Amino acid sequence: MVSPSDSDPAADALPDYRRQSPAVAARFAALRQRPVVLEIDRLGRQFAGEHGPVTALRDISLQIHRREFVCVIGPSGCGKSTFIRLLAGLDTPTSGRVLLDGKPVTGPGPDRGMVFQGYTLFPWLSVTRNVMFGLEMQGKAATEAERDALQWIDLVGLRKFAHAYPHQLSGGMKQRVAIARALAASPRILLMDEPFGALDAQTRAQMQAHLLEIWRNVDVTIFFITHDLDEAILLADRILVLKANPGEVQELIEVPVPRPRRLDQLTTPEFLATRRRLDELIHPKVAAHVASERLPIVRLTQLGDDVE
Ligand SMILES: Nc1ncnc2c1ncn2[C@@H]1O[C@H](COP(=O)(O)OP(=O)(O)OP(=O)(O)O)[C@@H](O)[C@H]1O
Ligand SMILES: [Mg+2]
């Protein structure tokens, strides 16, 4: 009989991704005791498509605990953005419901902070004024709003740029301002939809470290969508894996990598075991697919030699 170990002995030396060290198991036990901040109850969303209804999300149930970090991954089009828009109250479910601190979500509110991939700062306002904006909307006086804003700007390490304008900042810095602005309103939960998707690899790694540091210092729960499997493992307590058509829960994984997390954990057995499981869930047919599907590319080069 041929076992997987015959083809890939190194991979099989990895532990089961469900195995947790006593410290990690104790952390999850404590986490489950914390109050539920967000309750997602049989959530579904259908859209009217050209050829009939499209079920973007079906029957999603999940309870997220206070100060938990949940990442969501899944193939393109599986309903991740639809999901986060429902949590934000920017869209209405066709079935099920969302409860924040036990109260039904019926629209957007300051108890949910949002950070998306595109830079959403006001270009005509300075960093400080961008962060102050939501505070003033909540009715805070300008001096108080400015004092609070500067605290958040400190927290994301941008004090030197407090008077700069968005066009003077790098992509990573803009996203740090967006995080400061979202946190300034003291949300119960931070909703992040691929917030680092447009950043280069090095800046992205820095932002992951910054976000973990910020999360350690702030009483906030994080719901974070990403395409990047390593990013999900590095950041999350639990990873919700969705499948497409319709978007449904495929698996909910408790990440066995101990905290505090660091980039050098990317090669630990627990990390690699989780990575292998995510690969199995997300890319099961990639190899076969690549082999069977060729792009209809027209030959544009006049040079005779082939490159491969
Ligand atoms: N307003 C809408 N009207 C009709 N169909 C929609 C609408 N919004 C989303 N959909 C459909 O719902 C499905 C899920 O879309 P969604 O944008 O949530 O996916 P996603 O997982 O965020 O994708 P990506 O990874 O590419 O960002 C897709 O089939 C999409 O075409
Ligand atoms: Mg999306």
Domain boundaries, the chain: 24-111+189-266, 121-186
Beta sheet of 238-243, edge-to-edge order:
112-116, 189-193, 221-225, 69-73, 238-243, 248-254
Rounded to two decimals, the pTM is 0.89
Residue 274 and residue 234: Cα distance in Å, rounded?
A: 10
Peptide bond just before 260 cis, omega within 30 deg: yes
In whole angstroms, what is the distance from residue 138 CA to residue 142 CA? 11
In words, the CATH class of domain 24-111+189-266 is alpha beta
Q: Whose CA is nearest to atom 30 of ligand 1?
A: 77
**Under 8 Å between Cβ of 184 and 148:** yes
Q: Which ligand is nearest to the CA of 242?
A: 1
| Bridge pairing between strands 52-65 and 103-104 | unpaired
> What one-character-per-residue DSSP string does 72-112 give?
EE--TTSSHHHHHHHHHTSS--SEEEEEETTEE--S--TTE
Residues at Cβ < 5 Å from ligand 2 ion: 80-81
Q: Tens of pLDDT along the chain (308 residues)? A: 444 444 555 556 899 999 999 999 999 999 999 999 999 999 999 999 899 999 999 999 999 999 999 999 999 999 999 999 999 999 999 999 999 999 999 999 999 999 988 768 999 999 999 999 989 988 999 999 999 999 999 999 999 999 999 999 999 999 999 999 999 999 999 999 999 998 899 999 999 999 999 999 999 999 999 999 999 999 999 999 999 989 999 999 999 999 999 999 999 999 999 999 999 999 876 545 555 556 666 666 666 666 76
With tokens 């400061």, the residue in question is 180
Query: What ligand 1 atom has the least distance to the C-alpha of 48?
Result: 4
Ligand 1 site, CB within 6 A: 47, 54, 56, 74, 76-82
